[in-house]
């Protein structure tokens, strides 16, 4: 059986953040969960492309703007499930097991948000984001989005907008867990 998950990451000059993001994904690769990694770039002028290609990613390039970048990335992906992440995200150990549980449930999902920065501000923002996602089923793109291709397509996919593309899609999906 083919691995079910395509990971799609939009980038723009993400050379500083991308290595840590990709390193965190290795548990899903080694566990046979990840089918492919798609990097959809908006015209990076740093080492983003070299880092992505060295990791074996499918590279897609086009005009900058997360909505369009994500739509292009999903369009070339082949997995039955999509995990959309930001390049500055680092999934915590055990994420692959959580995703496998989500696949078994068959419903869209997201991760809890935490920030590496310390202090009251980051804790408040993360707390609000997690509360909002849990109570309203409306996570931010920073929380990652796990969605089946069928649900993604039924929701109309990502709109080619520069910001809030995550909210536009999530509002069309069934309630998130």
pLDDT of residue 100: 95
Could you write out the three-class secondary structure of 28-42? Answer: HHHCCCEEEEEEEEC
pLDDT of residue 57: 98
Q: Phi first, then psi: what are they for 69, rounded to 5°?
A: -60, -45
136 close to 177: Cβ distance less than 8 angstroms: no
pLDDT of residue 120: 82
Measured distance CA(177)–CA(163) in Å, rounded: 23
pLDDT of residue 130: 54
Domain parsing of the chain, residue ranges:
5-170
Q: Model pTM?
A: 0.89
Tokens encoding 132: 């909002």
CB atoms within 10 A of CB 152: 21
Longest CA–CA span in the chain (Å) reads 46
pLDDT of residue 86: 93
pLDDT of residue 170: 86
pLDDT of residue 12: 98
pLDDT of residue 97: 95
pLDDT of residue 172: 87
pLDDT of residue 126: 60
- Looking at domain 5-170, its CATH architecture is Alpha-Beta Complex (3.90)
Measured distance CA(168)–CA(94) in Å, rounded: 29
Per DSSP, the residues of 5-28 read EEEEEEESS-TTTHHHHHHHTHHH
The dihedral through the CA atoms of 159, 175, 77, 15 has a sign that is positive
Measured distance CA(160)–CA(158) in Å, rounded: 6
Measured distance CA(55)–CA(132) in Å, rounded: 34
Average pLDDT per run of 10 along the chain, which is 177 residues long?
A: 91 98 96 97 99 98 96 98 94 94 90 73 67 71 88 94 85 69
């Amino acid at each position: 059986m083919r691995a079910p998950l395509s990971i799609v990451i939009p980038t723009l000059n993400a050379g500083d953040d991308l290595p840590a993001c990709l390193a965190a994904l290795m548990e899903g690769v080694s566990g046979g969960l990840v089918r492919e990694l798609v990097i959809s770039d908006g015209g990076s002028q740093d080492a983003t492309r070299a880092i992505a290609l060295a990791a074996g990613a499918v590279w897609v390039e086009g005009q900058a703007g997360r909505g369009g970048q994500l739509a292009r990335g999903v369009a070339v992906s082949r997995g039955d499930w999509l995990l959309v992440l930001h390049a500055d995200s680092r999934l915590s150990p055990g994420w692959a097991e959580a995703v496998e549980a989500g696949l078994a449930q068959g419903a869209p999902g997201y991760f809890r948000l935490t920030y590496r920065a310390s202090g009251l501000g980051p804790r408040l923002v993360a707390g609000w984001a997690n509360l909002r996602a849990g109570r309203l089923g409306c996570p931010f793109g920073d929380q990652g989005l796990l969605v089946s291709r069928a649900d993604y397509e039924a929701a109309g996919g990502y709109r080619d907008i520069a910001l809030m593309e995550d909210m536009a899609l999530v509002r069309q999906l069934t309630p998130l867990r």
